Chain A
Amino acid sequence: MASVARIASALAILAGLGACASADRDGARTLATAGVTATGAISAEVGARADRLAAKALVYNFDHAYTLMRSCGGPNDPITNTGRGGTCDIISTAEQLRDDGVSRNLARLAHIVRLRARAVDQLAAAYRALAAEADYDARGDFETKIGQATQGVNTLAGAVGLGPLPAIATTGARILGGQLATNAQQRRLVGGSARLQAIAIHLREALAKEQVLHAQLDAVASSIEADGRRSLAIAGLIEPLPSLRQVVTSSAFPATDDSALQSALGRDPALNAAAQVAALAARPDPSAPALEAAIAVLDALIADHRDFEARRTLSLADLTASVARLTELIAAAKADLAPPAPPAPPAPAAGGNAP
């Protein structure tokens, strides 16, 4: 599965290619690069989706165990660590959760979603094969080989007293052979594009067909996430600063630095509570836009195929924009999964402009 960094560098290459000629090798190279970039972005989206699902098992197990253990600890129900059963035993609870249906089915779903990425990755490999064909200088290779063959024929012709082939015949054979090779390569490139376009259309349909299922899966994942956040809040682990910072940033007030926010949170319990409420009430971004963006990437790629096959100039604007949008959404979803960034170093003292 492609990483966001790799997609970003592919986007840079794509931007550098710009609009290219129609069904020639440059056009095919551009189309193939677009295909590799698009499939890379879609594969990363599908992979991130599978990772998010797999991560939900941990959140579910934590929420289940914390809710249970909070009811334990009394003289009749002490928290134990023996593995000999019992409602409040850590090991027994862990063993039950490891084998229960939620963990098993979340793992199964993550696996099924990853299988989708495998098909997308294979399509990327097919685009790389198209790129290799576009890179292959069929005309040059053919002309060189005809040149080499002519030398051998001349040797024979000289030996049997016919003399070397006339220069015009040699040149003619080379030009004709080169043109035939070019035509054959163009047919291979257009045929290859048509074949890949059909697969891209199939992929688009497959993704669109599963959109409703993905939306349902996203909803249940959000529900697990909300339970986990609730438990963290009960444990007093909701950090109010980030949500307060977000409130300040999205208001029209001048920016306040973190130390000022932190001291306000320390002296005002109501502010602290409100910031925690805001953090808890925030709904995670649904990942449906990422799936829609993946479909938009395929639409743009399919349009590029049509232009290439109709020998029109490729316009990469739509593809570049949709891949950029998808990459942005994947990066945002990954940031949700990643641990929070360490606090920023204190701002330098005022008193001068940076050089």
Chain B
Amino acid sequence: MTTGKDVLEIALRNFEQARDGKQADLDAAEGKPALVKAVLDNYGAALATYLETLADAFQAATGNWDQLFKDATDAEKALTDARAKAAAIGDTIVAMGELSDAVGKLVEAVKKPGSSAGPAPPAPPPS
């Protein structure tokens, strides 16, 4: 069975052969542009195949990096949310305090003489 590593090695060997033979082939083709172009295209094809195989090998590990990105995103959110939640607990306590304050003020208002909200205070005793 051919593994990704084997494919990479074959592509590398092909590229190295093309690279090592390139100059001799160019020398042989000197003055004939069509031949020079063929030599260059042949070298380019071997280089392109090798680069593509390398890119495939990197691509194969991309899932790993996507997971890293996701983990880091989740960690950032968890840290931010936990801090917001902690601050919200304090806000709840303040809200309860404000509610107590409002209820207290309401009770005071009810107790005040002449308040329409509460019973009339007893009439002062005649002097």
Residues of A with Cβ closer than 8 Å to B? 60, 64, 67-68, 71-72, 74, 77, 87-88, 100-102, 104-106, 108-109, 112-113, 115-116, 118-119, 122-123, 125-126, 128-130, 132-133, 136, 138, 141-142, 144-146, 148-160, 177, 181, 184-185, 188, 192, 195-196, 198-199, 202-203, 206, 209-210, 213, 216-217, 220, 223-224
Closest chain A residue, CB of each to CB of B5? A212
Q: Is the CB of B57 within 8 A of A213?
A: yes
Closest 5 CB pairs of A and B: A101-B48, A149-B97, A152-B101, A155-B104, A152-B97
B44 touching A64, Cβ below 8 Å: yes
| 23 A-B interface contacts by CB (under 8 A) | A87-B34, A102-B44, A102-B51, A112-B58, A119-B65, A119-B68, A122-B69, A125-B76, A126-B76, A129-B79, A132-B83, A133-B82, A149-B96, A151-B97, A155-B108, A156-B100, A159-B103, A159-B108, A160-B107, A181-B86, A209-B61, A213-B57, A216-B54
Minimum CB distance partner of A185 in chain B: B86
Asked if B80 lies at the interface with its beta carbon under 8 angstroms from chain A, I say yes
B69 contacts across to A, CB distance below 8 A: 118-119, 122
CB distance A129 to B75 under 8 Å? yes
CB of B54 within 8 A of CB of A122, answer no
Are A133 and B104 in contact (CB-based, < 8 A)? no
Contact call A109/B96, Cβ cutoff below 8 A: no
- A71 contact from B31, B52, B80, B100, Cβ within 8 A: B31
8 Å CB interface, B7-44 against A: 8, 12, 15, 19, 26, 29-34, 36-37, 40, 44
Q: How distant is B99 from chain A, measured CB to nearest CB, in Å? A: 7
Residues of chain B with a CB closer than 8 A to A153's CB:
97, 100-101
Interface size class of B (residues with CB under 8 A): 35 or more
Take A67-B40, A217-B54 as given contacts and tell me if A149 and B104 are in contact as well, using a CB distance cutoff of 8 Å. no
Q: Is the CB of B32 within 8 A of A71?
A: yes
Instruction: Give CA–CA (A101, B54) in the complex, Å.
Output: 13
Q: Please, how many angstroms separate the alpha-carbon atoms of A101 and B41 in the complex?
A: 10
* Cα of A76 to Cα of B76 in the assembled complex, Å: 66
- Chain B proximity of A282: nearest CB distance (Å): 19
Measured CB to CB, the closest approach of chain B to A16, in angstroms, equals 24
Given contacts A74-B31, A87-B37, A202-B71, contact A101 B94 (CB under 8 A): no
Which B residues are in CB contact (< 8 Å) with A206?
61, 64-65, 68
CB-CB contacts of B68-100 with A at 8 A, as 1s and 0s? 110111011011101100110111011011111
Check if B76 sits within 8 Å of A102, measured CB to CB.
no
- Best-surrounded residue of B50, B80, B96, B104 (most CB of chain A within 10 A): B104
Q: B45 within 8 Å of A by Cβ?
A: yes
Contact A146 B49 (CB under 8 A): no
Q: Could you tell me which B residues sit within 8 Å of A by CB distance?
A: 8, 12, 15, 19, 26, 29-34, 36-37, 40, 44-45, 47-52, 54-55, 57-59, 61-62, 64-69, 71-73, 75-76, 78-80, 82-83, 86-87, 89-91, 93-94, 96-108, 111
Q: Which residues of A contact B102 (CB under 8 A)?
A: 152
* A141→B93 CA distance, assembly (Å): 11
Contact count A vs B, C-beta below 8 Å: 204
Further contacts, 15 of them, CB under 8 A, given A64-B40, A192-B79: A109-B54, A109-B58, A115-B65, A122-B72, A125-B72, A126-B73, A126-B76, A136-B83, A159-B103, A159-B104, A195-B78, A199-B72, A202-B68, A213-B58, A220-B15
Contact B30 A71 (CB under 8 A): yes
Known interface pairs A145-B91, A148-B94; A188-B51 also in contact (CB < 8 Å): no
Chain A positions within 8 Å of B87 at CB level = 136, 141
- In the bound complex, CA of A118 to CA of B33 (Å): 44
Contact A145 B48 (CB under 8 A): no
Are B51's CB and A148's CB within 8 A? Answer: no
- The residue in chain B whose Cβ has the minimal distance to the Cβ of A205 is B64
Partner of A155 from the list B8, B29, B101 (CB cut-off 8 Å) is B101
A29 to B81, CA, bound (A): 18
CB distance from A8 to the nearest CB of B (A): 24
Q: How far is the CA of A105 from the CA of B33 in the complex (A)?
A: 26
Which residues from chain A contact B15 at a C-beta distance below 8 Å?
Answer: 220
